[in-house]
Amino acid sequence: MPPPSTAAPEGRGIGALANALWATRVLVLLGVLGSVAAALAVFYLATADTLYMIAHLRSYTDPALDAAAREALHDDTVFHVVEIVDGYLLATGLLIFAMGLFELYIAPLDRARASHSGEARPAVRNLTDLKSRLGNVVLIIMIVTFFGEVVRVDARSPLELLWVAGGIALVGATLWLTHSSGGRH
């Protein structure tokens, strides 16, 4: 049994409150587990979409398929690939979020840092690091989504083509600014 504290009663009360408050950090596990569950669900969806897309590609080489139908199938497939990549990126972002929360509030992920794949992955030191990582994933998701929309654009006039080119230029500028700032937001 520990010796009785010689601190003033209000000091013991504050110490007990501090201990109780520190113990509530385990509530973050709800966010960690929820993020992992959501990531698993999105991985499942993206994988199911991949299998679905592959199953529908069998008709692409059918000689009876006319050129317009083949082109439509091609365009739909490219759009679905973009959606699949988007899904995997979202799932990865959820895992990054879960690992970051765990590292910040529960315990360091020493095993991840010691693994071969974790060598280049620095520890999440604070919320700003976590936000920066998530911001990069969100930026990539937005770029992939934009690419998917650009693929579907049917620019019929020079002005429409100029709008598409302007959007692509803005995406390029965003990537350049993000890269030049070292990924900091």
User: What would the DSSP string read from start to end of the chain?
Assistant: -PPPP-S-HHHHHHHHHHHHHHHGGGGHHHHHHHHHHHHHHHHHHHHHHHHHHHHHGGGGG-TTS-HHHHHHHHHHHHHHHHHHHHHHHHHHHHHHHHHHHHHHHT---HHHHHSTTTTT-----SHHHHHHHHHHHHHHHHHHHHHHHHHH----SHHHHHHHHHHHHHHHHHHHHHHHTTT--
- For 109-140, what is each residue's pLDDT tens digit? 776 666 656 555 556 778 888 888 888 888 88
All structural domains of the chain with their residue ranges: 27-152
Average pLDDT over residues 132-156: 82
CB burial of 155-185 (b: ≥16 within 10 Å; e: otherwise) equals eeeeeeeeeeeeeeeebeeeeeebeeeeeee
Instruction: Note the pLDDT tens digit of each residue in 11-68.
Output: 678 888 888 888 888 889 999 999 999 999 999 999 999 999 999 888 888 888 898 9
pLDDT for res 183: 47
Indicate the pLDDT class of residue 85, thresholds 50, 70 and 90: very high
Share of the chain above pLDDT 70, in %: 85
Q: At what angle do helices 158-180 and 127-152 cross, to 10 degrees?
A: 160
Is 0.75 topped by the overall pTM?
Answer: no
> What average pLDDT does the segment 160-180 reach?
85
Contacts of 8 (CB under 8 A, 6+ apart): none
Neighbours of 122 (CB within 10 A): 10
Residue 147 predicted with pLDDT over 90: no
Mean predicted confidence (pLDDT) in 150-172: 85
Task: Please report the pLDDT score of residue 116 as a whole number.
Answer: 59
